Structure 1
Amino acid sequence: MKLATYQNGRRDGQLMLVSRDLANAVAVPDIAHTLQQLLDDWHELSPRLEQKYQALNAGTLDGVVAFDETLCLSPLPRAYQWADGSAYVNHVELVRKARGADMPESFWTDPLVYQGGSDSFIAPRASIPLASEDWGIDFESEIAVITDDVPMGISADKAAGHIKLLMLVNDVSLRNLIPAELAKGFGFFQSKPSSSFSPVAVTPDELAGNWQDTRVHLPLVTHLNDGLFGKPNAGVDMTFNFAQLVAHVAKTRPLGSGAIIGSGTISNYDRSAGSSCLAEKRMLEVIADGKPSTPFMGFGDRVRIEMFDDAGHSIFGAIDQQVVEYKG
């Protein structure tokens, strides 16, 4: 199934069922008004929704409208939990190498995760408002999963069954604020403003054979100001899969339905695939030339993040956002 949330004047929006080709959509208030409501009762409601999804794709459903990505909020406009990992450890290794720091061996066996702000996600086609270009504005192209209720202490094998939906992420980062925050030894906060998610969230079966070992084996394509920035394969070099990330987050606490767990920046050892954030490209420049030459984003810059199936069709729709000056 493919699901979206339309703006309707309410904070949590209107749940929409979206056709596989992203051409059509229909509201399903007889089943659930919001995505969170659906997730809270997934076991009972999702089979009924699946029947409507088949009818939508067959063209036999009433009340259908043309799907419009510009009307979408993030699939969960706000969430009870947003925890972002750093599953591509080669990316972490690269960043540390550029500043001459060794990487602890534990990074290869124990996932890195931070808890992000989840009360105000940005819509996938909305501008990213920030007050200063001096903050080092960066995008991070990622994938995230949404779970149902996950018991505390669950194993990775069992955690896989709790992954209900996938979506794309722009985890906006303010690179010049990060060092001072991390130096305090208490993690990110001001350096991680509101994130954005793709217009559409999909069930794993929509990825067919490209969903294996709870990894997405497809390139994630990022454009910066209409130029191709990177298309690394999300299934390659992912040290920790999503089941392992979910189990890690749930080690000492249960997860409520609607918990979002991110992969971290997609990164491949094959640098010809490009990068999924400016920081990585700048680190490669430091290693090669002794200094970075690629600037961070400025007001007016635009980023587009999208993933395509084997036939070249967009799976999740596109995150397409411009950075603008926030004046209060």
Structure 2
Amino acid sequence: MIRVKRNSIAAAKRRRPYLLLGLLLCLVAVGCGQKGFPRITQQAPPPQIKDAHAEVQPRGVEITWTMPDEVAAKTKGRFYQFVLQKAEVTWDKRNCLDCPASFQDKQVIDPLRPEPAYKRGRRFSWIDSNIQKERAYRYQIAIRDDQGRILSVSNGVAVKVLPVPGAPAKVTATTDKQGIMVRWQKPGKEKEQAGAANQAQLKYLLERSPSGKEAKWESISPVPIEGLEFLDSTVASDQNYDYRVTAVLIFEDSNIRGEPSTVNRAQAPDTLTPPPPQSVWVVPSKGHLEVHWLESEGKVQGYHVYRRQGKEITRLTAKPLDRPPFVDQAAQKNETYFYAVSAVSPGPDSREGLLSKWSEIRNVFF
């Protein structure tokens, strides 16, 4: 009797691993109904402003930024707000970027109703008029959702506030053989600058807009000008332009911009070659590459298209094209090319102007 009981116990022990294995298989079979391992859910990063910029001007500190794609799309009906935050820094620690700063909310901006901010396209600007001279400030822009939660904070920007310079005096624009010569004089007599203002460097910003149209000011100098004159050789032949000159103080890494002075209706000479197109872009199309561009201002007979590969530059057009686009059917697959366009003046001379900026593309083909 004892032997039979021992045999039964031994048989039960031998069956135990199989019972455990069967139980495990049953649990897997009747689990959550998914095959394989569960997937890890990845959430998209929150929207963030990455191009915040600050500059001192006569009305205060102007903060500018671009609306992120996620805010513009308003995915899933979510509502976003911009929260402009400000911190004051003591003057002696104005260049200490690692020093802690106490930010406070100063303005909430609704992207759909941005007042008191100004919106143009996806670009926003807001002016902080509550500032004092010889003070340093830091700004950042937070994005929060409809629950009041802060989702992200922009890049930080800092300014040092000094008295703004006056407007340049006696601005003139005269016709020159090579373009339009713009001249000006330093701002009128100002009060003696004291303290940090003595260390600032005075430079000038020069902008241009076609006359007789809605003002579309564009900078014609890549950096502020140190002198008191500038030859604008990128104008279209026989066209009229308005100019404005603005004095700007450069102090450490801050720009302090003054009020502009404007001169109207300066005429370009009729002997100039046309300016190059301001924008050139390339689009793949059915195995070829299409070169597009914005047509130049003024009188133009046509355009020449150039291609660069490595150090070799080739003109692709035997005669000027009337208008874009140009189709490059000789572009090889999986090669990188650069394209530029020039404009040709009308008349028997058919003088060719300067090349535009190069546009890069890789002709990827699968």
> Shorter-chain TM-score: which interval?
under 0.3
Mark the structure with the bigger radius of gyration.
2
- Structure with bigger strand share is 2
Q: Which has the higher contact order (CA 8 A, sep 6+)?
A: 1
Query: What is the TM-score with the length of structure 1 in the denominator?
Result: 0.25
Query: What is the TM-score with the length of structure 2 in the denominator?
Result: 0.23
